[in-house]
């Protein structure tokens, strides 16, 4: 990975109005079927697609379902993505998405690959009608974020316009998706936007189930990142739960109802585990050393926290962990430019065999550079990608700057958790 030029924000805003696309192959069936005579695979549309975390999660979920059916000696339909259309306004996110997925068309796995820099508000019903069996979305979270300095304007924030447009589109199209998977921050719960979404889903014939999931509890991944997930199906599958929720009496679950993904996650080479409540003691606990990678002497200065930062009085509050720790703060889009616990944890690398800070707290003083000069660094993008569940083959284009890499990762989803949620959603697929 090499650092490139940081794009000017104003220029980026202007550039994001331009379109990037590739050829889309039309699909002919309006609902999922395992009949090879009609169409193989699942059609998916990713809204607010970022760098493709939702797609990775869905692909893994389909692999799990395939394995389960084979173990159960069920009819062996082939569960894979037939097409995936991605919509996102960030040029850097789309370049990264295409960089990692465009090879699928060459392999013949996906008969349609399409990533486009386009506002959801610009989409027409014809763009979505009869185009997908599954919609996934992670709408902009800033209107609902509860972190420091967040404005929390909710549905009055202009960044909710895309989500509002999507509701109108869902109402207007004739052939709607069978399934929908939505992710957002915890602050989305109780918002007027969520209430509007309930009403839209109810009008369109969906029932749903909701979760507040943390990678630590739900997947054994050492990162505190509680997120809201909603899975929807156009059926009566969760009718009683939906009715309760519409009446303000429903339950948002904090654990998944199925454990089919547990073995898959524990066997994944990039998986690690974390401290968790007694309710989740079935998960094997692994420390951060399962995610930390070797950093060369040449690379190290890029990631070290500089002395002029460590020497400031507020630096003694920085969240520091070792490779033996089993918890980190939530890594956000600002991790590459702001030193604060609200952006994520920092790694103490000297001595390398030091016990976990959770067990043996580090010494702190008003000038931390006196104790830790050259000893504390940021987690690298590759390490964060592993914590977020991205495959080891994932990479960024060479012209994406280091700060932008951190931003794109911080805006992404945890694939381990998405895999679990998507498996729950699609487990009855035929």
| pTM across the whole model | 0.83
Mean pLDDT of 170-196: 94
**Residue 272 scores a pLDDT above 90:** no
Closest CA to 94 of 121, 127, 116: 116
Predicted pLDDT at 428: 87
List helix spans (H) across 72-160: 91-101, 103-107, 125-128
372, 351 Cβ separation under 8 angstroms: no
Q: 61-75, 145-159, 302-316: which has the minimum mean pLDDT?
A: 145-159
pLDDT given at position 80: 83
User: Is 204 known to be catalytic?
Assistant: no
Tell me which CATH homologous superfamily contains domain 9-272+414-426.
Answer: Vaccinia Virus protein VP39 (3.40.50.150)
pLDDT of 262:
44
pLDDT digits (tens, 9 = 90+) for 329-343: 999 999 999 999 999
Catalytic residue from among 141, 232, 330, 405: 141
Higher local confidence (pLDDT), 285 or 224:
224
CA 12/CA 8 separation, integer angstroms: 6
pLDDT category of residue 102 using cuts at 50, 70 and 90: confident
Residue with tokens 């997925």: 101
Per-residue pLDDT tens digits for 6-50: 344 434 443 444 433 332 223 333 334 433 334 568 999 999 999
Is residue 263 pLDDT above 60, yes or no?
A: no
* Strand pairing category for 227-233 and 207-213: antiparallel
Of all residues in the chain, what percent carry a pLDDT higher than 90?
62
- Quickly state the pLDDT bin for 325 (edges 50, 70, 90): very high
Q: What is the pLDDT of residue 38?
A: 47
Residue 131, strand partner residues: none
Q: What does the pLDDT read at residue 245?
A: 53
Residue 97 sits at φ, ψ, to 5 deg, of -60, -50
Mean pLDDT of the chain: 82
pLDDT given at position 9: 42
Distance separating alpha carbons of residues 280 and 291, to the nearest angstrom: 21
């Amino acid at each position: 990975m090499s650092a490139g030029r940081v794009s000017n924000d104003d220029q980026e805003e202007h550039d994001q109005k331009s379109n990037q696309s590739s050829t889309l192959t039309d699909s002919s069936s309006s609902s999922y079927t395992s009949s090879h005579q009609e169409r193989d695979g699942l059609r998916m549309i990713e809204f607010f697609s970022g760098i493709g975390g939702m797609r990775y999660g869905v692909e893994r979920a389909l692999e799990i379902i395939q394995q389960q059916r084979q173990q159960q000696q069920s009819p062996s339909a082939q569960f894979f993505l037939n097409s995936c259309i991605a919509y996102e306004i960030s040029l850097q996110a789309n370049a990264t998405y295409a960089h990692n997925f465009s090879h699928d068309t060459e392999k013949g796995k996906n008969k349609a690959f399409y990533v486009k820099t386009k506002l959801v508000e610009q989409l027409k019903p014809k763009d979505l009608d009869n185009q997908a069996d599954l919609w996934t979305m992670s709408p902009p979270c800033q209107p609902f974020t509860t972190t420091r300095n967040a404005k929390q304007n909710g549905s009055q924030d202009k960044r909710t316009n895309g989500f509002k447009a999507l509701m109108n589109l869902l109402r207007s199209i004739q052939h709607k998706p069978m399934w929908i998977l939505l992710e957002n921050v915890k602050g989305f719960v109780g918002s007027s936007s969520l209430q509007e979404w309930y009403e839209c889903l109810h009008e369109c014939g969906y029932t749903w189930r909701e979760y507040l999931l943390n990678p630590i509890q739900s997947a054994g991944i050492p990162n505190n990142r509680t997120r809201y997930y909603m899975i929807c199906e156009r059926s009566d599958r969760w009718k009683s739960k939906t009715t309760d929720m519409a009446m303000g009496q429903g339950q948002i679950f904090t654990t998944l109802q199925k454990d089919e993904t547990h073995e898959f996650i524990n066997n994944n080479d990039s998986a690690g585990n974390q401290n968790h409540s007694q309710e989740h003691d079935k998960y094997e606990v692994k420390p951060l050393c399962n995610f930390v990678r070797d950093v060369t002497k040449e690379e190290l200065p890029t990631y070290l926290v500089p002395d002029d930062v460590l020497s400031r009085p507020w630096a003694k509050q920085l969240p520091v962990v070792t490779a033996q720790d089993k918890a980190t703060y939530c890594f956000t889009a600002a991790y590459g430019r702001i030193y604060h616990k609200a952006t994520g944890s920092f790694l103490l690398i000297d001595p390398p065999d030091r016990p976990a800070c959770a067990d043996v707290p580090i010494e702190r003083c008003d000038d931390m550079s006196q104790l830790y000069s050259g000893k504390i660094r940021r987690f690298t993008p590759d390490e964060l990608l592993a914590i977020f569940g991205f495959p080891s083959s994932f990479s960024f284009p060479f012209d994406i700057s280091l700060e932008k890499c951190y931003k794109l990762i911080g805006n992404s989803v945890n694939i381990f958790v998405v895999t679990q949620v998507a498996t729950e959603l699609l487990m009855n697929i035929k």
